[in-house]
Chain A
Amino acid sequence: MRYLFRPPGTDGARLLALPWQLPLEEWPPELLLEVPQRGISRHVVRFVAEQGRVFALKEISEHLARHEYALLAEFEAEGLPSVSVLGVCVDRPHGQDAILVTRYLEYSMSYRYLFSRPSARQSVDQLMDTLVVLLVRLHLAGVFWGDCSLSNTLFRLDAGALAAHLVDAETAERHPQLSRGQRHYDLDLARERVGAELLDLQFGGLLPDGVDPIEVADSLQGRYASLWDEVTHEEVFRTDEQRYRVAERLQRLNDLGFDVGEIELVTDDEGARLRVETRVSAPGQHRRELMRLTGLEVQENQARRLLNDLRSFRAYLEQKEGRPVSEPVAGARWLAEVYQPVIESIPAELAGRLAPAEVFHEVLEHRWFLSEKAGRDVGTTAAARSYLRNVLPSTPEELTTPSVIATRP
């Protein structure tokens, strides 16, 4: 047998002791982890946990496994939202298929979960928009997905908003640029698959009343077309409008979750022509900033939220101490005095239902809500106490992320 894995190699090395020579279907149950948040797969897929990390193992032909391994590695390097690939195991005995190993996307939710809960906070509209953002991002990067479906997507909460991640690149193809035909075809496939997946939920009695699978599937086309146009269209305007039109366009793209790489502005007597080159990676300036100041790894919206809190904490410190406080010092103290105490106060039985940064975001929301009601700022500590007692317990237990389940005593 042959194992190929990417650094950090320690993750891979820990997995070497698993019984790779056996068909996945025959692996002893005590090695496996039940993961409820998953879609439909046409292959055998199993999950294992090793020292607090969870991995997804998929049995597929070597050719496909190598293809997917290479593509997912590229996607990750470029910052496309996809699962992170660890490695492949090939040359298994008796001519068995290869196994592709990916890192489980923690705190993610499947569409089955999101749709089948009538009390879900996220609307169908939000979900479809999120899926379309992912598809447009991939198309901008020259990726033909070939199997865009809800089953092949996982959703994560990012400060109340949803972010979609690609989890299956088996049929994906990389091109320097996609033709119109390729984009349309990919979208046709997405429409068909999403429609079928929702019909399936409906047949299973899992779709809330009032959601029409065909209507939702048909809406993809329009959503895609307007987003694609928004991120790629060339604008023409008068030279005197130039300044605010450029700023407006950039703001609009940022609001849609896109980052701008390069701006090309061509002016002549007729006016100005603006072309923007949209980055394929999701914006990450806040994420990087928070990482630098606190070492926390969170998603972009969460980072923006946490940074805002960090900044007001710094202002509070400066006022209290009557002298300037440097950013790094404020970062370290905010982490120790504000963020960590909230996270550490999450009771063990509620841990893992939401990502820590998402809990913190919700605590801040809750604080605003309580303060509004009380007519004064109630403070983070009181807000956290109330949130953990009254709000977090209503988050379903089935959302608990596998790595937390795996490390429970």
Chain B
Amino acid sequence: MASIEMRNIVKQYGDGYPAVNDVSLDIADGEFMILVGPSGCGKSTLLRMIVGLEDITSGDMVIGGKRVNDLAPRERNLSMVFQNYALYPHMTVFENIAFPLRLSKTPDDEVRRRVQEASDVLELKEHLERKPANLSGGQRQRVAMGRAIVRQAEAFLFDEPLSNLDAKLRGQMRTEISRLQRRLGITTVYVTHDQTEAMTLGDRVCVLRKGKIQQVASPRELYEQPVNLFVAGFIGSPPMNFLPASLEGTTLSTPFGPIALDEQRAAAVRGRDLLLVGIRPEYFEDASLVDEAKRPLGSTFRARVDVTEWLGDSQYAYIPYEAPEAITAQLRDLSRELDSEELRTQAIVSIDSTSRIREGREAEFWLDSRKIHVFDPQTGENLTRDAEAGARLTQMATEDRVEQVEHAQSTGQTVSGQSSGPSGAHRATA
């Protein structure tokens, strides 16, 4: 196991286009790091540079304290999981896991020890002597993971491993990967374009855009304290709503009525003619269902509902609003870049599933003004980001990880020879 450090990594192709542009990122020993972003953001290129598939134009790639820029893929001792999930019909499950060790002529007793340990973690112990023909879809995938485990690689790398699986198996595998990573405490880098995978799997998530890092933080920090419009729009489903606004005194004037800011936040956004207010769908509520005690913490407004969507446990209302052309065009560009459905000038608000608000009628809504963010439409910068609160969220995630890894190790669930002990896991970066 090892940490992975990237220092000012640049990947420039022949035509001069920088696919990865000055990326510096530290992945702690034992950490689960997600690289996420829309297509063309450079996430796969970055992963390939870690593996050694792409030459690094400039910068340093350091794995386990050793600069690996000029090492062949094999010499880096990393494991691309799921690269080979062919199952060989004449070999038992044991041999299907063991063969990478057979090929490297590992002594028999060592092979036995490592396969036993891997199969314990993967709960394949009962199946070791069987032929693979009768394994379920999930068990087959676990055999592929077993091959990666017995190699005792420095880190696991995943390149969109679930994108070709059906929805059910995808959910199952997500859980398996997460559980396995915790039990092994192995450094993991995982590339995806799917923000659900990013949010549910990673200790930290690195959001990339056009080859540059936008933000590296825990899923909760990304969600609650995004650094800019891009991250705010990329993380969250349904996405954050963006409303045009202007500041008068300490009050934002928006299509959904005035929203009061405290003096500190008002000061941070002052001096700009046009602003964008970001409000997540769940910061809204049907005003008639809001607790009296909570009501004064937000503002209320009346609006006509275009469509409602009742999903049983939740409900969404769609509220169109007016926006100046400049804002409309910018939102269109943003949604195009995010490969998402168009962020129309229509707010998606979450209301209680018991709400009687109906489409085509006007209704009163409440919004929690404490949780809104205000963005500079020109630069995209989040003007109201609370960096300290964000750091606290990521620190909490780090502590959770350390505790989980320690728990797994103290209860003997890990594979020996893979864990460098809790000291490795403590090397957390916030």
Which of B52, B53, B103 interacts with A191 by CB under 8 Å? B103
Q: A42: which of B55, B74, B85 is its contact (CB, 8 Å)? A: B85
Give CA–CA (A40, B54) in the complex, Å: 30
Question: Which residues in A have their C-beta under 8 angstroms from that of B90?
Answer: 200-201, 203-204, 206
A203 to B91 alpha-carbon distance, docked (Å): 6
Check A179–B54 contact: CB distance below 8 A.
Answer: yes
Determine whether B411 belongs to the interface, using a CB cutoff of 8 Å to chain A.
Answer: no
Decide: A199 and B102 in contact? CB cutoff 8 A: yes
Q: Which of A40, A180, A191, A214 contacts B102 (CB 8 A)?
A: A214
Complex-state Cα separation, A195 to B91, whole angstroms = 13
Contact of B420 with A by CB under 8 A: no
List chain A residues, Cβ under 8 A from B72.
180-181, 184
Known: A191-B103, A199-B99. A179 touches B53 (CB 8 A): yes
Binary A-proximity of B159-181 (CB < 8 A = 1, otherwise 0): 00001100000000000000000
A-B contact pairs, 19 of them (CB 8 A): A42-B85, A61-B164, A63-B164, A149-B86, A180-B55, A181-B51, A181-B73, A182-B54, A184-B74, A185-B52, A185-B73, A185-B74, A192-B84, A196-B88, A196-B103, A199-B91, A200-B90, A203-B92, A204-B90
Residues of chain B touching chain A, judged by Cβ–Cβ distance below 8 Å, are 14, 51-55, 72-74, 83-92, 95, 99-100, 102-103, 105, 163-164
Pairwise interchain contact B103-A189, C-beta atoms closer than 8 A = no
Cβ < 8 Å to B, chain A residues 16-62: 40, 42, 60-61
CB neighbours of A191 from chain B (8 A): 103
Q: From known contacts A181-B72, A188-B74, infer whether A193 and B86 are also in contact, taking CB-CB under 8 Å.
A: yes
Closest Cβ of chain A to B219, distance in Å, is 26
Tell me which residues across on chain A come within 8 A of B85, comparing CB atoms: 42
Shortest distance between the CB of A126 and any CB in chain B (Å):
22
Q: Which residues of A contact B89 (CB under 8 A)?
A: 40, 200, 204
Judged by a CB distance under 8 angstroms, whether A272 is at the interface is no
CB distance from B87 to the nearest CB of A (A): 7
- Secondary structure call for the A interface: helix
Which residues 200-255 of A have a CB within 8 angstroms of B? 200-201, 203-204, 206, 214, 217
Could you tell me the distance between the alpha carbons of A40 and B131 in the complex, rounded to whole angstroms? 14
Residues of A within 8 A of B88 (CB): 40, 196-197, 199-200, 203
Name the CB-closest residue of A to B103. A195
Considering the chains assembled together, what is the distance between the CA atoms of A249 and B83 in angstroms? 38
B86 with A196: CB separation less than 8 A: yes
The number of A-B residue pairs with CB atoms under 8 Å apart is 84
* Chain B residue nearest in CB terms to A97: B166
Which residue of chain B lies nearest to A147 when distances are taken between CB atoms in the complex? B84
B57 to nearest A CB, angstroms? 11
- Shortest beta-carbon distance, A6 to chain B, in Å? 24
Q: Which residue of chain A has the shortest Cβ distance to B96 in the bound complex?
A: A196
Query: Are A185 and B95 in touch, CB under 8 angstroms?
Result: no
Known: A196-B86, A196-B99, A214-B103. A181 touches B55 (CB 8 A): yes
Asked if B163 contacts A63 (CB within 8 A), the reply is: yes
Interface size on A, residues (CB 8 A): 34
Interface residues of A in 83-127 (CB under 8 A from B): none
Complex Cα gap A200–B87 (Å): 10
Is A8 positioned at the interface, with any CB of B under 8 Å from its CB?
no
Determine which of B52, B91, B103, B163 lies in contact with A200 in the assembled complex, contact meaning CB atoms within 8 Å: B91
Q: Are the C-beta atoms of B100 and A192 separated by less than 8 Å?
A: yes
Per the bound structure, the CA–CA distance linking A64 and B99 in Å amounts to 28
- Asked if A151 is at the interface (CB within 8 A of a chain B CB), the reply is yes
Q: Which residues of B contact A201 (CB under 8 A)?
A: 90
Cβ contacts under 8 Å, A151 to chain B: 86
Besides A42-B85, A196-B99, 17 more A-B contacts (Cβ < 8 Å) are: A40-B87, A146-B83, A179-B53, A180-B72, A181-B51, A181-B54, A184-B74, A185-B52, A188-B74, A189-B83, A189-B84, A192-B100, A195-B99, A203-B88, A203-B90, A203-B91, A204-B89
A409 CB to nearest B CB, Å: 35
Decide yes or no whether A347 CB sits under 8 A from chain B: no
**CB-based nearest B residue for A171:** B83
Minimum CB–CB distance from A60 to chain B (whole Å) comes to 8
**In the docked arrangement, what's the CA distance between A357 and B85, Å?**
38
Query: What A residues does B54 contact at CB under 8 A?
Result: 179, 181-182
Nearest residue in B to A61 (C-beta to C-beta)?
B164
Tell me which residues across on chain B come within 8 A of A197, comparing CB atoms: 88
A261 interface residue (CB < 8 Å to B) = no
- Please list the 8 inter-chain residue pairs (A to B) with the smallest Cβ-Cβ separation, ordered nearest first: A204-B90, A200-B88, A203-B90, A185-B73, A181-B52, A195-B103, A61-B164, A200-B90
Known: A184-B72, A199-B95. A192 touches B52 (CB 8 A): no
Chain A: CB-nearest residue to B167: A95
Residues of B within 8 A of A204 (CB): 89-90
Q: How far is the CA of A200 from the CA of B88 in the complex (A)?
A: 6
**Please, how many angstroms separate the alpha-carbon atoms of A206 and B88 in the complex?**
13
Contacts of A192 in B (CB 8 A): 84, 99-100, 103
Q: How far is the CA of A42 from the CA of B133 in the complex (A)?
A: 11
Minimal beta-carbon separation of B233 from chain A (angstroms): 24
With A61-B164, A184-B72 as given contacts, are A42 and B103 in contact (CB-CB < 8 Å)?
A: no
Tell me the minimal C-beta distance from B66 to chain A in angstroms.
Answer: 16
B293 to chain A, nearest CB (A): 47
Does A176 belong to the interface (CB within 8 Å)? yes
